[in-house]
Amino acid sequence: MGKVITFGEIMLRLAPNGYYRFFQNDQMQATFGGGEANVAVSLANFGVDTAYVTKLPAHAIGQAAVDSLRYFGVDTSKIVRGGSRVGIYFLEKGASQRGSVCIYDRAHSAIQEAQPEDFDWDAIFDGADWFHFTGITPALGPNVAAICADACRAAKKRGVKISCDLNYRGKLWTREQARETMTALCEYVDVCISNEEDAKDVFGIEAENTDIYGGKLDREGYRSVARQLMERFGFEKVAITLRTSISASDNDWAGMLYDGQECCFSKSYHLHIVDRVGGGDSFGAGLIYALRSGKSAQDAVEFAAAASALKHSVEGDYNRVTVAEVEKLAGGDGSGRVQR
């Protein structure tokens, strides 16, 4: 089996300890994360040969980001070095009725200022069979959107499967900008991953009879969203994550996978959240792993939803769980009993 390639921005995450508010004390935890880096780490933990592509400065902070990926066995040999800064995001984790807060400081990061000529995609995709990116990456600027388009064209030329998590971020671009750019990029995508809001924000496709804040999710509405996405772009598969936010601390979580014929829903998990950042990325990684492993549509969405459910119990962006742990939960053992 070939290598999985992911491409995006890895950022320095600075967060107060526990559930403290910003500068409630004088300490912050420093870790790394970012959509496609999170996917790469999850896949590496599942035993998948995975390479992460980005551009990072050659200084100590850039190297620390590289080392955080190497720790999990991610191939970092395709990372381009250059530029002067690593993007930063500040995270204040919410609890109960107080929502989480993310503040971004990513302007002029190395990847945001990268140019298409920085990346030799033909060489990068040598030996690869899957490519993953998210809608966050092309939102960094027209130059990065052009790099994503180059990557998609090179992947298609080599017969590499492409997955994309729409991941709309209103702090990076407008809905109109997202729609124009993602419409062009989605023409290359085989597996589209979305959530209850992204399809509406990016493409104006909305689930009917659904209130994500009032706890009402209508399955037929999501079937309709998946069908419309597939009809518009010709995707092979559409996956949608289904999150009901009861509070910042408690969510209900499930997933759906549609292949044009069958629409499969996972079991639903009630989550008491430790850290929700990276939850969607863990779903994407679980789905990629399951599809590449030849699992059925039902088993694939069960694996993806279980992987993501476990991530909500893990501090930091990266999901530090194994295939065995995911399969145990997907199989119905969510007791949380001590393993001796």
Is residue 331 pLDDT above 80, yes or no?
Answer: yes
43: exposed, middle or buried (C-beta count within 10 Å: 0-12, 13-18, 19+)? buried
Residue 136 banded pLDDT, cuts 50, 70, 90: very high
Tokens of residue 135, six digits: 């809608």
pTM: 0.94
pLDDT score for 145: 98
pLDDT score for 217: 60
What average pLDDT does the segment 234-250 reach? 94
All residues at 6 or more sequence positions from 329 whose CB lies less than 8 Å from its CB, including other chains:
306, 309, 310
pLDDT score for 197: 86
Buried b (16+ CB within 10 A) or exposed e, 149-183: bebbebbbebebbbbbbbbbbeebbeeeebbebbe
CA-atom Rg of the chain in angstroms: 19
Mean pLDDT over all residues of the chain? Answer: 94
Spell out the domains of the chain, with CATH numbers in brackets: 3-330 (3.40.1190.20)
Integer Cα distance of 111 and 87 in angstroms: 9
**For a pLDDT cut of 90, what percent of the chain falls above it?**
86
User: Are 248 and 273 contacting, i.e. CB atoms less than 8 angstroms apart?
Assistant: yes
Report the C-alpha dihedral over residues 285, 319, 87, 84, rounded to 10 degrees: -90
User: Are 316 and 72 contacting, i.e. CB atoms less than 8 angstroms apart?
Assistant: no
pLDDT score for 218: 73
pLDDT score for 135: 96
Pairing of strands 128-134, 161-165: parallel
For 197-233, the pLDDT digits (tens) are 898 999 998 876 655 455 556 778 888 899 999 999 9
Is residue 258 pLDDT above 90, yes or no?
Answer: yes
The residue to which tokens 């009917």 are assigned: 208
For 47-91, the pLDDT digits (tens) are 999 999 999 999 999 999 999 999 999 999 999 999 999 999 999
Residue 179 banded pLDDT, cuts 50, 70, 90: very high
What average pLDDT does the segment 148-177 reach? 96
Report the C-alpha dihedral over residues 317, 72, 27, 273, rounded to 10 degrees: 30
For 262-290, the pLDDT digits (tens) are 899 999 999 999 999 999 999 999 999 99
